[in-house]
Structure 1
Amino acid sequence: MSRGGGTSLAGQCTNTAVVIDWSKYCTAVESVDVAARTCVVQPGIVLEALNGELAPTGLRYGPEPATHANCTIGGMIGNNSCGATAQRTGKVVDNIRRLEVLLPNGVRFWCGKTTDERYAEIERHGDLRSAVYRQLRALRDEYADEVRRRYPDIPRRVSGYNLDSLLPEHGFDVAGLLVGSESALVTILRAELELVPVIKERVLVVLGFPSIDKAADAVPAVLPHEPIALEGIDSRLIHDQQLKHINARALHELPEGNAFLMVQFGGDTLAEVEKAAHEMLAGLDESEHGPTVAFLDDPAHEEELWQVREAGLGATAHVPDKPDTFEATYNAEFLSHHYAKRQWRRPRSDLSMGWLPAIAQLVGRLRLGSVVNAVTHAPLLSRAAVALAGVENREIPKFAAEPLHRWFSRRGARGSGSRGTVLLWPDTFTNFLHPHVGQAAIDVLEDAGWR
């Protein structure tokens, strides 16, 4: 199982496997073709290091996750990463020319878009590679119409396998299929990437809104102005950074609001870029959105505000027992050994959150929800409970009067089942604290013909 830079939400890779860390030795840029705007790299190279090496060519790799200082190209391929620059450059799957891959039996080959002539050539070999291509072709031919009909047409679709890459209109792109497969299908040895020109001038406009939903409502009015980057930030992220005293000066530069859109424009001249930004602001002023505004054309200030977005993971992750630090690469095996036979060294939040499912089941079984709610929402007792649990001082969720599983047992299934049967597996919060979310999901599934 291949591992990237450990910059996923929990820095995870897998539970049990032989894990290959490519970031120590396989970090080279093997070739750059400036005319074709491509380069061949090894999977362990960090994105920021790659773009640093490409800088003299005036080219860069387009997708840029918030963790670009740490994420590897191999990890980005596994996740089909995109980031704030997706408005201009799309996802990783949109920026891959070819991949060199290794199958479990040791067969290795380059793959990418495959013409009918190239497919026939591969087929003639009669080896495992040809068998893989033959099965993928059969899969495509059988389900092509279904994929066209049911795959959502949204710019940042990154979940599931990219079966649409196999369609004829996408060139039977085997590399595109493998992007986003999380190292579950092949091992990636090298990647040929498609590059984009470096933008010469940029300005950043930060729009403030009263709430995150109002910020989201304004996005359709922003998109026609063709920003090169667009990112949303809510008050929770800002609050977490304030708690850890991260980016204090940059946070001070934010406009008034509880949620923000960071909108960046780019072009060849500063005048051109500022014109586009002002046109967007004029359009928003004439709409119902009316945000507060911070306008920055100083690269140093822009970078400070983007740091508010790169620090998001750092504001919510830390070394065990050290909340003022940032470390997202501790895996389950390390923590298991770290706390073995000394559970008392765990943070209290680990224990309170770890035992929450069992506590919730006990409360639900004994029908003690109203009693627990009264205790945890009494002013002094609430603070004591939060302190004892070792979590941030915020309102404790209330137990619902009726858990989702009990509501469903009483109500019974109502769907026709014309499209099949679905297993809905609610988590602890949905089952015991917010059953209305699960109830809504059940209503949608049943209305859609599932049982």
Structure 2
Amino acid sequence: MTTTAQDQERLDAAAVTDALAQGDCGEVHGDAGRRAQYSADASNYRRIPLAVVFPRERRHVLNTLDVCRRLGVPITSRGTGTSTSGQAVGSGVVMDFSRYFNRLLALDPDARTATVQPGIVLDDLQKAAAAHGLLFGADPSTHSRCTLGGMIGNNACGSHSIAWGRTAENVLELEVVTYRGTVLRLGEMTQAEIGEAVAAGGERGELIAALHQLAERNLAALRTELGRFPRQVSGYALEHLLPERRFNLARALVGSEGTLAVILSATVRLVAPPSARALVVLGYPDAIAAADAVPALVKHPLLALEGLDRSLTDIVTRPETRRTIDTLPRTQAWLFAELGGQEDELSRLAEELVAAAGCAGHEIVTDPVRARQLWRIREDGAGLATRTPEGSEAWPGWEDAAVPPEQLGSYLRQFTELLARHRLHGAVYGHFGEGCLHVRVDFDFTTDHGTAVFRTFITEAAELVAAHGGSLSGEHGDGQARSELLPLMYGPEVIALFERFKGIWDPDNGLNPGMIVDPLPLDGNLRISAHRTPLPLATVFPFHADDGDFAKATRRCVGVGKCRTAAPRGGVMCPSYRVTLDEKDSTRGRARVLYEMTQGEVVTDGWRSAEVRDALDLCLSCKGCSADCPVGVDVATYKSEFLHHHYKGRLRPASHYSMGWLPLLSRLAARMPRLVNALTASRLAPAIKRLGGIAAERDVPRFADRTFLTWFRARTPEGDGRRGPVVLWVDSFNNHFTPDVLKAGVAVLEHAGYRVQVPDGTQCCGLTWITTGQLGIARRIAHRTTRALAPATRAGIPVVGLEPSCTAALRSDLPELLDGDTDARGLARSTLTLAELLVHRTPGWRPPRIDARSLSQTHCHQHATSGFTADSALLAAMGVDNSVLDSGCCGLAGNFGFERGHYDVSVAAGEQALLPAVRAAAPDTVVLADGFSCRTQIAQRTDRGGTHLAELIARALPRIHQQTRNPHRD
């Protein structure tokens, strides 16, 4: 019996995992699912690790090194894995510091220093520093999830390095451990301190002696070849070994990409930001013109000078972001120049900057809210750039080059010509003020020819940047992407110095081998390979945006890691990750496992994969990722597709039958609601829940005594109906549980002059079947629904939905399920929220004035499909003082929060923002929550009730407001 390479790899992984587990190394994983999650970072590269370790304590790091050294296994240190160069993936053991080894150890506001563990997220440090009026100067666009250890590894810079320097300039001291287990504390050293260390001997003394000797023998090369301009990040930062730089070993390790030592702690410098800021947006005919303006602009006292090309912003489809972009100066490229100082001097500084800019349009922004909206576009650049405006894939590889700012215009002209010569395209953005450009290029890795073009182009680009006196990397490091090309930038003498430097620190080559020295080929280990054939996986959803290719859909995730933002700010993605802080529960982790499923190498069971099933278990199907992920990864749809195939012909979880079939079961319950309510509240309730796969902690919602449809069909219409008919979508949730919401909708629509109709029979959008992956049934239901509504939608009659999840399903899921069905597309175009109809389609209607304060929870499906803009406008028109929660999912999310095993995560997700805000709201504040799930979570976890927007309006209407009531308050 022969052993395949995959079998041998599994055996090796098992042996390494066992040794690590027995060696007290922290949390250790060697299963296929975990290895799949860590197979890639944000680069073009894919390497399957043998095991993943999450150290909790210092001893776990030391023990992991001891075990790996004994086994001869290399170690790759990893923060959040947002590297675009491939240095955060490895074929040995990946040590992830971000989950546990992430504490703030000390903060001294007087000395303006902080000491941190390497896994701390930058924003967490910034939050702690902000309490003392301080911040950490380097701030890459991934600040919400990148770790200090990763920033030190790559010498990250960010938008404000022009004012506050790179990570290197902000590191004061490092405590590190070598692969051989030597622990050192590093920083500046005087000649006397060097002598004392050498005299003391031991491994520390020998290492310092060797490094000092290396510097003393190569002073000329260190002074002339290295540190020539701020963004020269490629290679090792040996210039910090110079005596005039005080032989600073800490700074010499910054940018070494985990190849020399493992960081145990870092002491960093904090700075005091200016008291006020202004953002000056400068418009130019194109990116080259913007680059030409840089030399004049950098003479001004700037905090940041960032460039953005319209070809990047053209990719944005989300309505709110699109509206922000449309307010920019009407040009093809922009520079975002930030100024800081006293508030009374900013106007003068801004006008002086504009006068020197030679721009074709400008805007001076002093409103912090608008400034944040604009900066968010720039921060999303790494994700947006992964698609061209035509929709094709674009990749890193030449993502990070930098030249002296005075060379930027010339370099960009010739770089643009180089792209055209190879018939390639890429959107340019980046840190123009320091000559650092980011660009992702539409390389074709699916063919041998495309991969050859990639190698040729990257090589010629390296020659071009070297000719302009630049650096292959300006902040992201060399990694596998550029290490091979370093001889084009440095001569043999410097390359030999790098090799000796690595050899002194890591003679066993056990730390991140293949990076910087003895490099791996830049076209090896590619995530996409012409020689690797994905499994033939037929799908129900068409995935048109990805050419009908499920593998291509899953690799839409390029690893920028925005889904790993733990703080619940400004979005929904990803509720379960924010609770568990586990990569497997992030949008990226799920997409990685799904992609590996399509490859069939690590995850080998295709649609039947238990690893994928487990990775998707805590996905709430909230659709937050479809809007918040800058690349539009839609795990909710992937999950529905997977569950459909995974359980095809097999027994499903009980919740798929109880909650997946809830619309049908609700019709049965409507015949005897009081009996059903009595049973679900009786001693039999625990057994009923257990049989239905429902969490024991959850209360089963009570069925209404009378459904909305029964009420509606027995009533006499009111109002004059002068505006014509409107179809009110009767969703199962409100129809059977909270009919007063639909009644309020009728009152509001009739007051606005509409003649309300409801669909014939009992229709359903099929949402519960979609989320549980019962797509065959969902399609049959969708067909019936679109046929029933076709006469109305063909006649141009609007369809108004009051339940956001159902409205979103009509808009997005049904057209996908019924691909090519013109009636389904017509229904999607006709479907509106109540606020959209009243604000955009009902001219002359005046809403009632309501003197009230409200707190609004935007349903996650509404966030993903239509946003809250129309609702905000309507509330403002009514005079309501409304606050919108700036985050997340309620945590219940339809069936998710009711399912057994999900209760704790569901509640914890709600506790991130919604539930504390509701409890803290003043008693007279109206809690607005249009989603049935949101109102249910609020009612079950607080002493407040949620109110639908329709109910709020209806209560203020004549003759109606006394008739509608909030069932949660009753």
Kindly provide the amino acid, as one letter, of the partner of residue 273 in structure 1.
Answer: L
CA distance change for structure 1 residues 34 and 150 in 2, over 3 Å: closer, same or farther?
same
Question: 1:10-47 CA deviation, whole Å, 9 max, x = no partner?
Answer: 77612312111111111211111212111101111111
Matched residue, 2:382: 313
Matched residue, 1:428: 453
Instruction: Determine whether 1:293 maps to 2:362.
Output: yes
CA distance change for structure 1 residues 203 and 19 in 2, over 3 Å: closer, same or farther?
same
Instruction: Determine whether 1:355 maps to 2:424.
Output: no
Using the TM superposition, give the Cα deviation of residue 437 of structure 1 relative to its aligned residue in structure 2, in angstroms: 6.7
Aligned equivalents of 1:209, 1:252: Cα separation in 2: 15
Instruction: Determine whether 1:304 maps to 2:381.
Output: no
CA distance change for structure 1 residues 132 and 443 in 2, over 3 Å: closer, same or farther?
closer
CA distance change for structure 1 residues 360 and 40 in 2, over 3 Å: closer, same or farther?
closer
Matched residue, 1:55: 130
Matched residue, 1:198: 273
Matches within 5 A, 1:229-308: 229-242=304-317, 247-267=321-341, 269-284=342-357, 289-308=358-377
Equivalent residue in structure 1 for 2:112, among 16, 33, 37? 37
Matched residue, 2:878: none
Kindly provide the amino acid, as one letter, of the partner of residue 276 in structure 1.
Answer: L
Aligned equivalents of 2:463, 2:130: Cα separation in 1: 52
Query: Is the 1:87–1:226 contact (alpha carbons within 8 Å) kept by the matching residues of 2?
Result: no
Aligned equivalents of 1:241, 1:58: Cα separation in 2: 35
Query: Is the 2:81–2:88 contact (alpha carbons within 8 Å) kept by the matching residues of 1?
Result: yes
Using the TM superposition, give the Cα deviation of residue 313 of structure 1 relative to its aligned residue in structure 2, in angstroms: 2.1
Query: Is the 2:282–2:359 contact (alpha carbons within 8 Å) kept by the matching residues of 1?
Result: no
Query: Is the 1:79–1:182 contact (alpha carbons within 8 Å) kept by the matching residues of 2?
Result: yes
CA distance change for structure 1 residues 439 and 51 in 2, over 3 Å: closer, same or farther?
closer
Kindly provide the amino acid, as one letter, of the partner of residue 266 in structure 1.
Answer: G
Aligned equivalents of 1:9, 1:199: Cα separation in 2: 32
CA distance change for structure 1 residues 23 and 282 in 2, over 3 Å: closer, same or farther?
same
Kindly provide the amino acid, as one letter, of the partner of residue 156 in structure 1.
Answer: R
Aligned equivalents of 1:92, 1:169: Cα separation in 2: 20
Aligned equivalents of 1:148, 1:185: Cα separation in 2: 22
Query: Is the 1:81–1:158 contact (alpha carbons within 8 Å) kept by the matching residues of 2?
Result: no
Question: 1:171-213 CA deviation, whole Å, 9 max, x = no partner?
Answer: 0000011000000000001000011003221100011111111
Using the TM superposition, give the Cα deviation of residue 74 of structure 1 relative to its aligned residue in structure 2, in angstroms: 0.5
Using the TM superposition, give the Cα deviation of residue 236 of structure 1 relative to its aligned residue in structure 2, in angstroms: 2.8
CA distance change for structure 1 residues 11 and 294 in 2, over 3 Å: closer, same or farther?
farther
Aligned equivalents of 2:179, 2:450: Cα separation in 1: 43
% identical equivalent positions:
36
Matched residue, 1:130: 205
Matched residue, 2:164: 89
Aligned equivalents of 1:241, 1:297: Cα separation in 2: 24
Kindly provide the amino acid, as one letter, of the partner of residue 264 in structure 1.
Answer: E
Using the TM superposition, give the Cα deviation of residue 270 of structure 1 relative to its aligned residue in structure 2, in angstroms: 1.3
Aligned equivalents of 2:242, 2:335: Cα separation in 1: 35
Q: So what's the TM-score if we normalise by structure 2?
A: 0.34
Question: 1:348-379 CA deviation, whole Å, 9 max, x = no partner?
Answer: xxxx933322x469xxxxxxxxxxxxxxxxxx
Using the TM superposition, give the Cα deviation of residue 103 of structure 1 relative to its aligned residue in structure 2, in angstroms: 1.0
Matches within 5 A, 1:49-448: 49-242=124-317, 247-267=321-341, 269-284=342-357, 289-317=358-386, 353-357=444-448, 359=449, 427-429=452-454, 431=456
Give the match's secondary structure for 1:158.
coil
CA distance change for structure 1 residues 434 and 76 in 2, over 3 Å: closer, same or farther?
closer
Q: So what's the TM-score if we normalise by structure 1?
A: 0.71
Larger displacement relative to structure 2 (67-76 or 273-282): 273-282
Give the match's secondary structure for 2:315.
helix
Q: Which runs of 5+ in 1 are unaligned?
A: 329-351, 362-426
CA distance change for structure 1 residues 44 and 317 in 2, over 3 Å: closer, same or farther?
farther
Larger displacement relative to structure 2 (79-88 or 10-19): 10-19
CA distance change for structure 1 residues 264 and 129 in 2, over 3 Å: closer, same or farther?
same
Question: 1:56-82 CA deviation, whole Å, 9 max, x = no partner?
Answer: 111110110011111110000001011
Query: Is the 1:430–1:438 contact (alpha carbons within 8 Å) kept by the matching residues of 2?
Result: no
Query: Is the 2:227–2:237 contact (alpha carbons within 8 Å) kept by the matching residues of 1?
Result: no
Query: Is the 2:176–2:263 contact (alpha carbons within 8 Å) kept by the matching residues of 1?
Result: yes
Query: Is the 2:160–2:304 contact (alpha carbons within 8 Å) kept by the matching residues of 1?
Result: yes
Kindly provide the amino acid, as one letter, of the partner of residue 251 in structure 2.
Answer: G
Query: Is the 1:112–1:176 contact (alpha carbons within 8 Å) kept by the matching residues of 2?
Result: yes
Question: 1:192-242 CA deviation, whole Å, 9 max, x = no partner?
Answer: 001100322110001111111111111111111111111111223212224
Question: 1:265-322 CA deviation, whole Å, 9 max, x = no partner?
Answer: 011x2112222111111233xxxx333101100000000000011111232459xxxx
Aligned equivalents of 2:301, 2:463: Cα separation in 1: 39
Kindly provide the amino acid, as one letter, of the partner of residue 3 in structure 1.
Answer: R
Aligned equivalents of 1:443, 1:65: Cα separation in 2: 27
Give the match's secondary structure for 2:111.
coil
Kindly provide the amino acid, as one letter, of the partner of residue 447 in structure 2.
Answer: L
Aligned equivalents of 1:124, 1:9: Cα separation in 2: 42
Larger displacement relative to structure 2 (22-31 or 181-190): 22-31
Query: Is the 2:87–2:257 contact (alpha carbons within 8 Å) kept by the matching residues of 1?
Result: no
Using the TM superposition, give the Cα deviation of residue 246 of structure 1 relative to its aligned residue in structure 2, in angstroms: 7.1
Using the TM superposition, give the Cα deviation of residue 254 of structure 1 relative to its aligned residue in structure 2, in angstroms: 1.5
Give the match's secondary structure for 1:205.
strand
Using the TM superposition, give the Cα deviation of residue 439 of structure 1 relative to its aligned residue in structure 2, in angstroms: 9.4
Aligned equivalents of 2:130, 2:462: Cα separation in 1: 50
Query: Is the 2:227–2:239 contact (alpha carbons within 8 Å) kept by the matching residues of 1?
Result: no
Kindly provide the amino acid, as one letter, of the partner of residue 58 in structure 1.
Answer: G
Give the match's secondary structure for 1:208.
strand
Give the match's secondary structure for 1:50.
helix
Aligned equivalents of 1:302, 1:253: Cα separation in 2: 12
Kindly provide the amino acid, as one letter, of the partner of residue 328 in structure 2.
Answer: L
Aligned equivalents of 2:462, 2:265: Cα separation in 1: 43
